[in-house]
Amino acid sequence: MIAILALLLSNAAWAQPVTGWGRQQNTVQLKQAAGGLDIEFISGSTFRVRRGLAVPPPASAPDPVDLQISQDKESITITGTEVQVRVARTSGLVTAMLPGSVRLFHESRAQLQAGRAELVLETPTAEKFLGLGPRPHEAADARGLVLTPQSPFFIASHNGYGFWMSGNGPFQFDVGKSQPSQVRISTTGVERLEYTVAFGPSVKEIWDERLKAVGAPPTPLLPQLELIAGSQLPAAASRMPQTDLCGDARALVHASLSGLPMPAFDLGHYRDASDYIYKRAAGLAAYAPIFYDSNPPTAGAKLEMEKEAAAKRHQFSLFLLTYADEVRGRGYPVLHPLVHQFPRDPAVAQQIDAFMFGDELLIVPACAPGKKSVYLPQGIWTDTRTEQEYRGRQTATFDSPDDGVIALAKNGSIMPLVVDKVTELHYYPKLGGEFFFFEPDANDYSQVHAGPAADIYRVQIETKVYRKYEWVIHHMDKPMAVEQVDVGPVRWRYDEATRTVRIPVDAPAHSDIIHNILY
């Protein structure tokens, strides 16, 4: 009997009338002639649509979501605080809207037949589709492409929502290639057609909502954030299909827009490349969320290049641990695409040739020889090699460095670097800044703060663990004195060539140490 029912259901087209409905906790269960259609709200902004034979029951005791359910002759409408789902009675097809009739998309086809699933979404022609896996394309928008992505996830940036398919896949996405107004999604060998929608509208808010739906990955251990072997990849890492250096640089950004917060860069892919390309690949790999080598060199120039990249990577270890913990806590990718970091700057909405390394550094991969021109977002930016400052909201041109990476520190940022067992705190005034270190052993956060206060600068360390620090404060004239609160004058030095003030601090666990820089 069960086998017969499965056969009947496997040959059913799932655009079929709704004959009734009921509610169980946050899920509205709609009755159809065969199978079922469930609309589950995970929050007031995020919902999941399930169709098919193996529709699982709602999760036990979910957090309650305030839902309003209404119906008329044509449809059943379920309204959360931010999104609304309308199900047509005659077809069971779904329309996703914002309260107030702004349509996100509507289904024109939702079919599951003989193990083959097809979903067709009608979308506004102004919509832009970001993500859909680590890919080498120069354009951020996937419109016009047919893809079988590693991650079946996209961000619809015009209306501000994330969309992803559940199941093993692989899923093919025809993003406006066959019909400009349609996203056509298909797969085979499935018993269920299931997708989730998370409304932001900002990219950061989409990540927050997605986290509620998929849960948090484990935070990698500190050694897993150094250069590692391919066999040591942490659970949260995602291997990238790699092509060429320029394509791999873009793929890191596309991956970070695809629900893959920790894409892994394999330097071993470049083992047979020229020394010129290998050095630039190693330079880029040092800034990847996960840096591994599946085919390490054993001697020669490439071994030295890898050692240089590994040494730079080690400097970022505490920085990366903090942002890996942010993946767990907020769902943000370690690399912040510019549309994530600067949502109000329309010039970066489609920019894929640069990314933020956390909140502090703007990274511009220069994968080809010659000069590199790039649009800089709002702010004041310091080239960490030359100390030259650049104003944002304009295009700047840089000489391509030997390792192929232009790194620009944002005004007001504090960038921690581990150098010879000392954690240097590089502060770029004049805006105030702060950084929170995740401390796994204490299961808590150390904090550092810096900023102007009247006619002085004040820097502060609140550490949960013992650590040797050194403040490195950039773009400074030589001060008259440096004093520690409740202590008095302390040791410091000034570098005339770089215009930096350096203050070493030996900080016991649970200490709060404040220095004033006097002029």
Render pLDDT for 368-389 as a digit per residue (tens, 0 to 9): 888 999 999 999 999 999 999 9
Cβ atoms of 355 and 406 within 8 Å: the answer is no
Q: Is the peptide bond before 212 cis (omega within 30 degrees of 0)?
A: no
Residue whose structure tokens are 């080690």: 314
Q: How confident is the model at residue 63 (pLDDT cuts 50, 70, 90)?
A: confident
Whole-number pLDDT of residue 23: 92
Mean pLDDT value of segment 127-139? 96
Instruction: Spell out a b/e string for 174-205, using b for 16 or more CB atoms within 10 Å of the CB, else e.
Output: bbbbeeeebbbbbbeebbbbbbbbbbbbebeb
Whole-number pLDDT of residue 61: 56
**Phi/psi of residue 42, nearest 5 degrees:** -85, -35
Mean pLDDT value of segment 31-42? 86
Whole-number pLDDT of residue 325: 94
Whole-number pLDDT of residue 112: 87
Do the strands 394-399 and 405-410 form a parallel or antiparallel pair, or are they unpaired? unpaired
- CA gap 507, 470 in Å, rounded: 10
Query: pLDDT tens digits, residue range 227-242?
Result: 999 999 999 999 999 9
- CA gap 367, 245 in Å, rounded: 6
- CA gap 343, 286 in Å, rounded: 26
Query: How many other C-beta atoms are found inside a 10 Å radius of the C-beta of residue 509?
Result: 12
Cβ atoms of 116 and 187 within 8 Å: the answer is yes
- CA gap 500, 493 in Å, rounded: 9
Cβ atoms of 259 and 151 within 8 Å: the answer is yes
Whole-number pLDDT of residue 454: 86
Average pLDDT of the chain, as a whole number: 93
Token code pair at residue 80: 């959360």
- Residue 11 reports pLDDT greater than 60: no
Q: Which carries the bigger pLDDT value, residue 54 or residue 413? A: 413
Token code pair at residue 412: 């007001």
* Range with lowest mean pLDDT among 7-16, 43-52, 202-211: 7-16
Mean pLDDT value of segment 25-38? 86
- CA gap 151, 154 in Å, rounded: 9
Cβ atoms of 210 and 331 within 8 Å: the answer is yes
Give the list of residues 6+ apart from residue 258 with CB closer than 8 angstroms, or none.
131, 132, 133, 134, 149, 150, 151, 153, 154
- Residue 349 reports pLDDT greater than 70: yes
Please report which helix (H) or strand (E) contains residue 2, including its range: helix 2-10
- CA gap 206, 197 in Å, rounded: 9
Q: Coil, strand, or helix at residue 208?
A: helix
- Long-range CB contacts (< 8 A, 24+ apart) of 175-181? 175/129, 175/132, 175/142, 175/143, 175/144, 175/145, 175/146, 175/147, 176/129, 176/143, 176/144, 177/144, 177/145, 177/146, 180/125, 180/143, 181/122, 181/123, 181/124, 181/125
Do the strands 46-52 and 192-199 form a parallel or antiparallel pair, or are they unpaired? antiparallel
Query: pLDDT tens digits, residue range 146-185?
Result: 999 999 999 999 999 999 999 888 999 999 999 999 999 9
Distance of CA 491 to the CA centre of its chain: 41
Whole-number pLDDT of residue 60: 52
Q: How confident is the model at residue 9 (pLDDT cuts 50, 70, 90)?
A: very low
DSSP conformational letter for 506: E
Mean pLDDT value of segment 246-267? 97
Whole-number pLDDT of residue 408: 98
Nearest CA among 411, 407, 398 for reference residue 355: 407
Whole-number pLDDT of residue 55: 52
- CA gap 354, 253 in Å, rounded: 8
- Residue 58 reports pLDDT greater than 90: no
Q: How confident is the model at residue 202 (pLDDT cuts 50, 70, 90)?
A: very high
- CA gap 218, 493 in Å, rounded: 41
- CA gap 111, 441 in Å, rounded: 51
Task: Give the pTM.
Answer: 0.93
Mean pLDDT value of segment 386-400? 96
Give the list of residues 6+ apart from residue 462 with CB closer than 8 angstroms, or none.
446, 447, 448, 449, 511, 512
Whole-number pLDDT of residue 53: 59
